[in-house]
Structure formats: C-alpha cells, structure tokens
Structure 1
Amino acid sequence: MSFFSLKSHNGPLTADLVQEPGQFGLGKVPSRLKPVCTATSICGYCATGCQLKLHLDAEGNAINLSPQAGYPVNSGMACPKGWQALDPLDSPDRATVPLLRNHKGKLEPTDWSTALQTFTTKLKSIKSTHGKESVAFLSTGQIPLEEMAFLGCLYKFGMGFVHADANTRQCMATAATAYKQSFGFDSPPGTYADFEQSDVIVLIGANLCIAHPILWQRVMRNKRNPKIIVIDPRATETAQVASQHISLRPKGDLPLLYALAHCILRDGRIDSTSIANTEGIEDFTEFVKSYSPSSVTETTGIPTETIEALALDVSTPGKRVSWWWTMGVNQSHEGTRTAQAIINLCLITGNIGKPGTGPNSITGQCNAMGSRLFSNTTSLVAGHDYADESHRRKISEQLGIPYEKITSQPSMAYDEILEAVIAGKIKALWIIATNPFHSWIDSGKLEKLRENLDFLVVQDMYHNTESGLLADLLLPAAGWGEKSGCFINSERRLGTIKPVRRAPGEALTDFRIFRLIADAWGCGDLFSKWTDPQAVFQLLKNLTKDRPCDIVGIENYEHIDREGGIQWPFPELSGDHGNERRLFEDGKYYTSSGKARLHFSPPTAMPEPVDPEYPFLLITGRGTSSQWHTQSRTGKSKVLKKLYPADPYFEINPADATKYGIEANAAIEIRSRRGKMSARAYLAPTVQSGQLFLPMHYAEVNRLTYPAFDPHSRQPGYKACAVKLLK
C-alpha cells in the first residue's frame, strides 16, 4: 500500500511528491499501517543506484517508501519505478511453492525436499552421462553480489560444472571488455559528479531522460553551462532538450569517432602528458589518416563541417569533456571497438582522471558491476583471472577449497551456451532471476531450443514469466525487499539492500536456496563459512586484496551505509577519499606496462541491411521510464502500467506512413526474417525516414531481432535489423 500519489510532473518524481496519509480519499490511516521507523535500501532496478527510504510498521514490514535525501547518487529523487518498488512484492503472480512438471506435462506444487532431490538427481545423472560441460546456468545482474558469488562458486567449485553466464552479457559485456583491453581491468573511471563538472557532455547511444532520469537531473545541476551533445539516430527525449543533436545513421558511430580522432590528431589538439601514458599512438595516428570527415559523410549522414565542429568541441584545450554511453553503443556487432574509440578520444585529449571528464559507461542492471566482478562467470571471483595460477591458488587458500577444484577453464558465453543446447551438447539449463525466453535476441529460436533440453530449472520470484512457464522445475525465490546484500552501481559505488518484507509462502532467498542445494549436492562442507550474506561479504572483500577492485578497507554493511555508499577501490589505510572518486588521476593504469592501450580496427558492414523486400531498419530501445526490461516486475504495478501503453506500438516517420498508406494507431504487422508481431502505428517525426522504433519491453519484439554478436564481447546487437510492414 502506498500513502502517496503521483502528480503530473515534467521529469523524475522527487521527494516533494510525498503526500500526507489521508489525502486523495484514503481517509484515516489505521494505526497498524502507520510507519514507526525507517530503513534504507538501494533500488533494485537500474544501476543508477538510488537509495530509497523504506517506512516500516511495528512489525518491520515496509508499507511505504520515499527517496533518501542526501544520498550522493540521487539526493532525494527517484524515477517512477523507484517510487513503486514495493508493488511487485504484492503481486498474486508470486511463486510461493516449488513447482514440478508431472508426467502429464503440467506444473504442480511440490515440497522443497522433493524439489531439491529432483534438482540434484537430474543434474548429477546428466553430468554422469554427458560430462561436466553438459549443464549451464544463466544468471542475472539483479541479485546481490553475495548471492552471485555463492552461485558461481557453488556451481563451479562444489558441483563441478564449467559453463555459466549472466544477463549482463546483454547490457555490459561490451563496456567491460573495452575497459579490460584498454585499461587492463574492467574499471569505469568516472563518477556521477562528472555530470555536474563538465564543460561538454557527449551522450552517445544514451537516452538519459528515459533510461536514467536521475542522471539527467545530475546533468541539469551542472552550473558550468555545459554544451550537451547527443549522438543518436532518433531525436530522443534527451536529444530534444540537448544543446545539439547529431542525427547519425544507425551504426555510423564508429566511423564518426575515427573521423573525430583524425581531426584532433591532424590539428595537434592533444594532451602530451596523457599520450605519454598511452601505448599505440603512432599506429593509431596512421590508422585514422584514412578517416577524414569527407570520407565518412555517406556512412554517418553527417556533413563534414558538423564533424569538424564536433571535433573542436571535444578537444578544445582547457575544456572538461565527458563521454557517456549505454546500450546504443554496447548492443552492437562492433560495440567493443566503438566504446574503445570513445576511450581513445579521451586518452589523446587528456579527458580522463580529472573532474568533468572520462569515457563513462552507464550500466543497465542494478548489480551488473557486482556481476562483472563477483559472479564467477566471465572472470574468477573478485576480479581474478582463470588463466592465472597464482590467482587460482589465492582463491583456493582464502576460501578453503581444494586447488584442483578451482577450474582454469573459462566458460562459454551466453550465445555459445545456447548454441551448444541446439547442438545437443548442453542438456540442462538452470536459469536464475532472469527471463531469456523474452529478453534474448531472436527469442523464437529459444522455443525450439527448449525441445533439446532434458531438464530446465527456473529460479524466480514469479511463476508465470516466459521462462518459468517452460520450466521442468520452478524454485520460488524472494525478490528485492526480501533479502540483504550489496549492489555495485555504474560509478563503482557499493550500496546495501535490506529485507523489509517476508517472502510469501515457501519462497526463499536465493542465498538460502544455494545453501540448501550445496547441502543436497553433498558439498556443503566447502561452504561452511557461507552462513549469511554479511559473512560472505567479509570473505569476498578479503579476496579483493591487491586487485584493482580492492575493498578490504570496508568494515561491514553499516560502514557502507554510514558513508553514503563506498566506491571501489577502498583498500586498507585508504583514508578519507570522499563520496566521489575517479580512477587514473595519477595516469597509471592496470596493464603490465602501467600505460593505457589504444585499440582500433576497421568498421564492418551492418549484419542485416535493408533491401527491397525488407525496406525498414528496426531500432529497439527503452520506451519509458516507468517500465523495466521484460516487465516481469514493473508489469505488476497498477500505477506503472497506467503510465505506459499496454499494447505494443511502433514509431514511424510521417512521410513513410503517408508513402505506405499507414494511418495513426493502425494495427500493422511487422515482420523480419525470423518472426512477426502486431503493433499500432505512432507517427513520429523523431524517427528518420526508412527507420522504425519499437520499445524493448514487449515480449514479441525479440522475435524480430537479428542475432549478431560483437566478436570481442559476445554481446548481441539488438539495435538494427531489417523488417517490412504488412497491414
């Protein structure tokens, strides 16, 4: 129940919208529902990392919430999702008991003992018959890092399996790979304070007003009168209020960035100190000579004079320039090189390690950074390397796990795991807190993939997600607000979440489920110290010692709360570094040489261009600040549902609508070479002619998308595919 209402508001909903109990026809509030104390918790949606104040009744149950004033991330603001964060906990669709598919093919309730016995018997049998590479898990960026670490270590060191990945592969693999290659470690250098300290802010493939509205408010607080430049094919909400919108052609970003480097190096607007701390400048200078502005105008759709002016804006000596990107860059067939082209521009102009600067990725999932460092999927837990023997021995010694159980074999990536299912090599999948049968690219292919699985386990807080409905075994899990642990946001800030509700029925926290599985599997003794999330946090923080993400200086959860969140690194004797800290202020990087590296390669062709049969290029992205990804949670909120169209719609340029005889609100079939869906037409001059835009939140959208993958990060390119329209 909420004791506030949402007024009309031209931006993020802020603390001034909290209303007094009894307003808006609610009448007198029963004394049992009056808040008597509060707790704080980081919001469980995006990686902005806003802190919420939860108002608790006498029994410790959250009955209301408001944004936390003074927290260095959101300063008393929250977007619509944050205001309604408690609603999904009350949904009648919650999974409350384990469900097991019977001999008639229907899911029916069972008890935990039977569920655990089925889980272990089935997976052990598959492992015995087909080997340790015949099972995989697909996990999430939505659970605390303590649960992520427990899952990864249990699965690989205790159960003895190999292949696992998380849905951070869908949002942040590109940025993580780019940082690793350029800086020697997955290390986003900036801090949100840079939004408020820049002279020039470049947003590329990032619609902050919709996707990260609280960060847009940080931009609006900048008192330096910054020039805000948006590089995006669409005239997004952010582009419409920016100083300048550069409407490039889809996937024209990489040649544009190389052309900017060409102009800057040609004219000598470089920072010699930063370049001295960088490797590869000679080769990079030679490479970009062939990317003059005139040579990329056709590819980018941008006039030469606009490119020259933009190059000057981002390289004027004495100006602080910060670059920010999200999925428009990451979700691309060449996203890693595009992210590194941004990094290269910051390195050659010295816009890194200083206030108001930096190549800064904005993360999608609330704990994607926690997943990148601690999930034990793409790297060894706590930011270590599977291939490094000294790292494996360190993990073995500190966790008390026999060395021979610490695998040196890296996992296949998400797309490779699914292809292995199709090939019959992987026989069982364990899906935790994610919904790939909705969210994965070319999702119709997954329905066929399901037929190849001998066993599918889904562990989720809802029983009726697209993935849950296909499960052989569904394990009911607690959600945000019903568990404790830590998230790490886009600026490397650790924040805590608190249990302020009891999970319904027999649902358990993911941590507790992993504990029960460890015991049922027979490896519980390996994890005898993994008693609760805070105990695991102490183990994990000690593992980070001497790694770039070192946080051994953090005492406990209370220390994190007391400091208003803590950014890594926070080593021993770290002293008082304040609430906002950026990396590389000393010009030293995490590579073996201590220098940053310039990475580059020629742009490649769009994987599926338009043609006469499929004449429209489909772009996907976030359509609203009131819905989250597959709507598994936000779709349960009556308030949030009212703020967003229930039925799918697509945006089309009015000239194209006239050409094809399409009227506003007409029901149109959109068809790709992979699937089809019906949506209503919305005539929008913000979309370029020849392009369509579909919000990602509707389940049907990913039946259309083309399965292209970045070769470095293996991240799927959701943003461009060829489609046609049928009335």
Structure 2
Amino acid sequence: MITAPAMTFREWDGPLTSDLVREPAKFGLGQVPSRLLPDATTKAICGFCSTGCGLKLHLKDGEAINLTPDPDYPVNLGTACPKGWEALAVLDAPDRATMPLLHGKPVEWDVALKYFCEKMKGILDTHGREAAAFLSTGQIMFEEMAFLGSLAKFGMGMLHGDGNTRQCMATAVTAYKESFGFDAPPFTYADFEESDVLVFIGANPCIAHPIMWQRVLSNERNPEIIVVDPRKTETAMAATQHYAIKPKSDLTLLYGIAHLIIREGGVNQNFINEHTNNFEEFAKFVADYTPDRVSAETGISVEQLNKFAQTIIKGTPRVSFWWTMGVNQGHQATRTAQAIINLALMTGNIGKPGTGANSITGQCNAMGSRLFSNTTSLLGGHDFRNLAHREKVAAATGIPVHRIPDQPSLAYDQILDAADSGKVKAIWFVATNPSHSWIDQSRFNRILDKLDFIVVQDMYCSTETAKRAHLVLPAAGWGEKEGCFINSERRIGYSPKVRRAPGQALADFHIFRLIAHYWGCDDLFRGWTSPEAVFRVLQRCTENQPCDITGINGHEMLRKSGGVQWPLNREQAAKFDVSTSKQRRLFADGKFYTLDKKAKFIFDPPTEIPDQARDEYPLVLITGRGTSAQWHTETRTGKSAVLAKMIPEELMLDLNVNDARHLKISDGMSVRVISPRAELTAKARLTTCVNPGEVFLPMHDNRVNQLTYASFDPYSRQPSYKHSAVRVEKA
C-alpha cells in the first residue's frame, strides 16, 4: 500500500490541486491491486460533490476493494480528487450505524418501524398534517429521494418536507425559474475548455470542484480568468484578474459592470430583441450604477471596473459566467444570481460553446433533488398548486390525485420556525447533519430540544444530529446500494451496489419500502419495487417537461453511454448517438421555457446587509470550504486517515496581517472568535489572502455555525453564511 508523505497544511494550498488529480499516488490516494484481472471491474459515479466523476471499481469476489478514475467518462477523463480516491475507505469506519437505535439502545427493525409509525401517526392524527416534516438531502440517489417525498406526502399525509439542497442550490433554482421559466443550468463541462473568458463569482473550483478546475486548465484558448471573491482564494491566485470586493457587494458590482457594457456598446442587441424581455427597463435601472458609485460601494477602483467590463466585451461571443455558494448563500442571493444571468443575456453569451450563466451545484445529487425530491416542486419540476400537474403526476405514478397536496411545503427555515413555535412536533432527517451545518447552530439545536419525535436515518450513528435523535435508522452508503445521480451539467449517471452494508443497515430505498408496509400504504407503491422501477415512474413524470427523460432506456443505457444529460425525450433519443453526443447544452435555438420562449431580465436594488460590522464586532466573518480533502460536515471524509493528513489538526482562522498587528496577535497564536451568538477558539493564520476587516473560517468544523447570523434570501429562502459580524481576541 502506498503511504502518504507527512505534509503541513500550507503544502496543500492552491496549486497542488492539479498535482492531486494528475499524480494521486504521489500523495497516498488509492491503491491499484495488480492481482486484479482487467475485466474484474465495474463503473460508478462518485457520491461526493456535484462534479459527478466516473470511477472504475475493482472487484474481488464480487465486492469492490479499490477504485481508480474512469478514463472514458466524459466528466473527469481519468482524474479524481482526494475525496473520490478515498470513497471506499470511509465505508469501513467503526462508527457506522449497524442496527436501529431507540433512545440510544439497539433494537430490531420490527420494533423500530412499529415505533416510527406509532409516533408519527399519533402526531399527525392529533395535530394535523402540518405537525410532522421531513428534511432530506442531495446525497442519496434520486429514486430514493422520490420515494421519500412520495411516501411522506402521498402515503403518510405530511405536507412539509425540504432538503439540505436549500443550503446550497435554492438560489440558483429560483433564479433560473424566474429568468428562464425552468430550473435549467444551460452548460456542459466542455464550456470550461471552450471559453475565451471565464468569470467565477463566489466560486473556488480549485478547492471545491477540483476536477472542474482541471477542465479549466485544459483550455487551450489562452483564456482570461476573472475571479470575484473577497478572499484571494486558490482560484483567485491562478486567475488573470481578481476583484477582491467588499463582502456581499457583488450585486452592486454586477449592476456596475452591466452599466459599463451598455455604455461601451457591448450589448448584443439582436439577441436581446429576439430572445429576451425587460431589457429597456433593466438598462434604465443600471444607469444609476456609475463607476464612481460602484467603486465606492465595492472597493474596486474605476480602472479595475473598466478593465473587467472591457474583458467581457472583447471576449464576446465566448464568455462564460460561473457561480456557486459565494453567491447562493447571501441575503440577496437570487437577485445576485440573476444579475449574472443578465450579463450573459445582454451579451448573447448563452446557448453556444464556451458561454452560459452557469451555476455550479454543490452536492452529488442536488440536481436530482431539485427535480425529484418532491419537496418544493412536485415530481419532475411540476407545481403542487396546478391541478393539471397533479393529475399528470397522479397518472404517471398511479397515486390517486386526491392524495397529492395542492400546496407546496414550507421552506427549511420556515419548518424550523414552525417547530420553534410548536406547530411542527416531529422531524425525520435523512442523510443530513444540520445540527452541524445549519446557520446559527445553537438556535437550531434548541429547536430540536422542543420536538416530540426526532428520527435520523443515516449511515453513521455519531453525527451531531443523530446524537439528538429518539430513533436512528441505519442506512447503507454510496457503493452499498444502487441508483442515479444528476450532476451540475444535468448528466444522469448510474451507480451500482458493490459492497454489503454493515450489520443490519439497509439501503434508504428499502427502508422506505418497509415504512410504507408498516404504515399500511404499500398498495400505493406496489410498482415501486426497485430503483429502476421508480426510474421508469419518474420518466413518465417528466414527459413534455423541459427535463423530459422519456428517451432514456433505463439504467442499462446510462451504464453504457457514460451518462446522459437531460433532456432526452423519445424524439431526441431516436437521433442520439452515445459516441458523438457526450456534451449537450441548452438554449442553442434561443428558446427558453417561458410562455413566450423569451428569457427575462429581473432586478431589484441592493438592500442593507443584515449583520454589519460595528464597534463591538468590527470584523466580517466569511465561511467556505477549507481544502479539497474536506466535504461539508466531514461525516464521511473525517473517517479517512489519508484525507486527515491533508487538513490542519486544529481549526485555523485566516486573519489579515494588518488586523493582527493592531490586535497584537502573532501567527499560530490561539485566539477567540466571538459573535453575539457564541464564541470558539482557533489558531490564527496571518495572511494577506483576506482583506483588512475580514476573517475566514472553514465551514467543516462543528463549531463554526454557532457564530453565523441567520438571515435568508427572501425569494429562495437560502441562508446567508457569508457575512457575520465578529471580533477576535487573544485566547
């Protein structure tokens, strides 16, 4: 076995990301057993981030014992990040949930399921269908997501359910729906390689999506790379232009760039006239965002603003705009995302190679959650409030239409508010750990203490949320079950079962089947016998939708084709050649999903940041991903000894050297980080990568969200993790 060399955290910053995906063995990532025959393999999709890399799983006696990246998969082309290399290792952790736990004691499945149904039925019967809710994930297969949402809402009679995709992608969903008429990321990963200008806003793919960054490095067009981010991230270090704006001044900046593009004659008037609405009103609106005003509000000089705008104008028609959590997790996130969309529309940079207004998704199956989790949208991107939609889904699923709710769920934060007020009495958490990840963590956990019944269904019994549960249901993990994921570029990929789950742990799919049986509603789901059977149901739900996948011939086609991007309806499938149709983007014909087939310019003035720096709390805390070896709450990546060598042993606070001098803090000193909500201790890391007045903490530490201020975008209801007022003191 290859062992990883001893390394300090600093050695893993920035540029080494490229080495990690090119020469992984150099860093102890993975081992390829030479004794395996070439045909003793199968293929899978990685279950960590939204990149959706293809992996070759090497088998012995029918079980995966190791893996290598798939050189033929069109996403990653034979590369993998540290998390992907260690995907199998984390399945063997000693804290796996192996039996149901009732009040902390092991019980048989029969006892657990009877208790689950008795408690949930009692709460729903006594307090009504709004008294219980489920909160799910972007980590399980979409066939499982669909089963959960349908079981809870159609079978058990719950009204409310949301997912932790609310923390990462709700903004992009809302922005696309309002601007394009449907939640439709338009791009394909080939656009990373075909752009003349790439603009990354609130995105750090070098660390968060290393394989996407590898695709950028493969661009042979000598592109300009523009990064808009308050921090000098690893991606910003590699960029040709970095604009270190004041935190959450991005909306003002984008309006200012639009102003300059219009002033300099950089708009594509033909595209605007033929394919968009509301541009004249938008142009009048941004007339007030002069360079002087924007410079004062963002901290970017007038000269820099002009250079930014001129780069876009000269780069037309091959400019691509990319964003992720730095935009989505803001108090005015939806309008910020739409300001990015507006730039793509006004310059005609959409529907063509190397272009697009492109949201980079977070979780491996957040796109699947957006279409099929049955939370805020009815299956297949339909509307709960539309009778015709309910009737269509009823016909497709075989569920009586009267069992389908005629109103959408409350959003995540609203479900929690209802629990705080006593209206929601029970919550069922599936493959998510919000006691760690939810904003203003202490309030979240106080709310959990009020609930009559907490169920956690997870592969580990040691998560912060599982420790608070009355009932823990042990679930199989990635590699221990089968189903499909949808990645950022809309590619549907199949992942097989290649390992046995430990103990009595079951695939989430089979847990849902058992609950349906014990609840007494299994007759509603009599055809939902396997993930592929549910896939066929969901195909019918998508018919004539923008996400129509009726042309996919089941899991086998996905296995053979290297994944398939939606849409693929029957007519498209008749022309589909898996050898030549690996990459497909949306809107090549200039037609969008609105009633008049035109995209819409949407805008609002910037509003005041809720938790501003002030005398007692003079610094702005920004949170984000720490290293490419870490994933979210580290529920899985924290189990890998190899990945542990790539992260600091202690929580590190990035502090500007000038602020440190004023505070008399030296590098490596223990410091207290204090907000009005909580405080924690970290080690100071002095740097110029954060501006004076700003500090940065990685989101993976289980204490960081005790500090964050809970504000929410009014349209997407997504939490704003990127701006909280704090102070720093010597410990």
**Does TM-score exceed 0.5, indicating one fold?**
yes
Quick check: 1:627 aligned with 2:630? yes
Matches within 5 A, 1:170-569: 170-276=167-273, 277-316=275-314, 318-569=316-567
- Alpha-carbon deviation of 1:560? 1.0
Instruction: Indicate the residue corresponding to 2:13 in structure 1.
Output: none
Deviations 1:350-397 (A, max 9, x none): 000000000000000000000000000010001111111111001111
- In the other structure, the counterpart of 2:162 is 165
Counterparts of 1:176 and 1:279, CA distance in 2: 20
CA distance in 2, matches of 1:548, 1:36: 38
Deviation at 1:450, TM superposition (A): 1.8
Report the secondary structure of 1:351's partner residue.
coil
Corresponding residue for 1:576? 576
Cα offset, 1:480, TM superposition: 0.4
Q: CA–CA distance in 1 between the matches of 2:113 and 2:477?
A: 20
Q: Structure 1, residues 95-136: CA drift from partner, whole Å, max 9, x if none?
A: 0000001xxxxx100000000000000000001111000001
Displacement, 1:539? 1.0
Q: Tell me how far 1:573 sits from its aligned partner.
A: 2.3
Question: Does 2:688 align with 1:685?
Answer: yes
1:12–1:213 contact (8 Å) kept in structure 2:
no
Structure 2 partner of 1:97? 99
Partner amino acid, structure 1, of 2:55: L
Distance 2:389 2:366 in 1: 22
Q: Structure 1, residues 258-296: CA drift from partner, whole Å, max 9, x if none?
A: 011111122322112320210101111111111111111
SS in 2 for 1:275: helix
1:74 aligns with 2:71: no
Aligned mates of 2:529, 2:317 — CA distance in 1? 51
Aligned to 1:664: 667
Aligned residues of 1:36 and 1:56 also touching (Cα < 8 A): no
**Matched-pair contact (CA < 8 Å) for 1:323–1:358:** yes
Q: Is the 8 A contact 2:169 2:366 kept in 1?
A: yes
User: One-letter code of the match for 1:643?
Assistant: M
- Describe the SS at the equivalent of 1:380: coil
Corresponding residue of 2:138? 141
3-state secondary structure, aligned to 2:151: helix
1:673 pairs with 2:670? no
Q: Contact 2:4–2:642 at 8 Å: present in 1 too?
A: no
Q: For the Cα contact (< 8 Å) 2:17–2:207, is it kept in 1?
A: no
Counterpart amino acid of 2:447? Answer: L
Which residue identity does 1:171 align to in structure 2? C
Per the TM alignment, residue 34 of structure 1 is displaced from its structure 2 partner at its CA by 8.1
The amino acid that maps onto 1:415 is D
Q: Is 1:652–2:676 an aligned residue pair? A: no
The gaps in structure 2 that reach 5 residues or longer are 8-15
Give the Å deviation of 1:684. 1.0
**Corresponding residue for residue 719 of structure 1:** 722
- Deviation of 1:541 (Å): 1.1
Distance 1:221 1:515, change over 3 A: same
Structure 2 counterpart SS, 1:573: helix
**Whole-Å Cα distance in 2 between the matches of residues 298 and 256 of structure 1?**
10
**Normalising by structure 2, what TM-score?**
0.96
Amino acid at match of 2:233: T
**Deviation at residue 12 of structure 1 after TM alignment:** 5.0
Paired letter, 1:121 = E
Counterpart of 2:18, as a letter, is G
Following the alignment from structure 1 to structure 2, what is the Cα–Cα distance between the partners of residues 187 and 171?
Answer: 16
Q: Secondary structure at the match of 1:13?
A: helix
Name the Cα RMSD after superposition: 1.8
Cα gap change, 1:30/1:453 in structure 2, threshold over 3 Å: closer, same or farther? same
- The whole-number CA distance in structure 1 between the counterparts of 2:34 and 2:348 is 60
> Structure 1 30/690 Cα, relative in aligned 2: closer, same or farther at 3 Å?
closer
Paired residue secondary structure (2:281):
helix
Normalised by the size of structure 1, how large is the TM-score?
Answer: 0.96
Partners of 2:448 and 2:649 lie apart in 1 by 28
Amino acid at match of 1:460: D
C-alpha deviations, 1:191-225, integer Å up to 9, x for none? Answer: 11001000000011011111011111100111110
1:13 to 20, 44, 60: 20
Where 2:20 maps in the other structure, the secondary structure is coil
Indicate the SS of the match to 1:295.
helix
**Pairwise CA distance, 1:43:** 0.5
Shift of 1:30: 11
Secondary structure (helix, strand or coil) at the match of 1:274 reads helix
How far apart are the structure 2 equivalents of 1:4 and 1:534?
39
**Are 1:3 and 1:64, in contact at CA under 8 Å, matched by a contact in 2?**
no
Q: Count residues with an aligned counterpart.
A: 715
Are 1:269 and 1:317, in contact at CA under 8 Å, matched by a contact in 2?
no
Task: Give the conservation status (yes or no) of the 8 Å contact 2:317–2:355.
Answer: no
1:617 aligned residue: 620
Distance 1:249 1:37, change over 3 A: same
Contact kept, 8 Å, 1:14 with 1:67, in 2: the verdict is no
Q: Residues 406-460 of structure 1, C-alpha deviation per residue, up to 9 Å, x if partnerless?
A: 1111100000001111000000000000000000000011221122100000000
User: Which sits farther off after the overlay, 112-121 or 392-401?
Assistant: 392-401
Q: Name the amino acid aligned to 2:617.
A: Y
Amino acid at match of 1:259: G
1:74 is displaced (CA, Å) by: 0.3
Match in the other structure for 1:697? 700
> Distance in 1 between the 2:250 and 2:134 partners?
34
CA separation in 2, counterparts of 1:30 and 1:288?
62
Structure 1 counterpart of 2:52: 49
Whether the 8 Å CA contact 2:316–2:349 is kept in 1: the answer is no
Whether the 8 Å contact between 1:12 and 1:77 is mirrored in structure 2 is: no
Percent identical pairs in the alignment equals 56
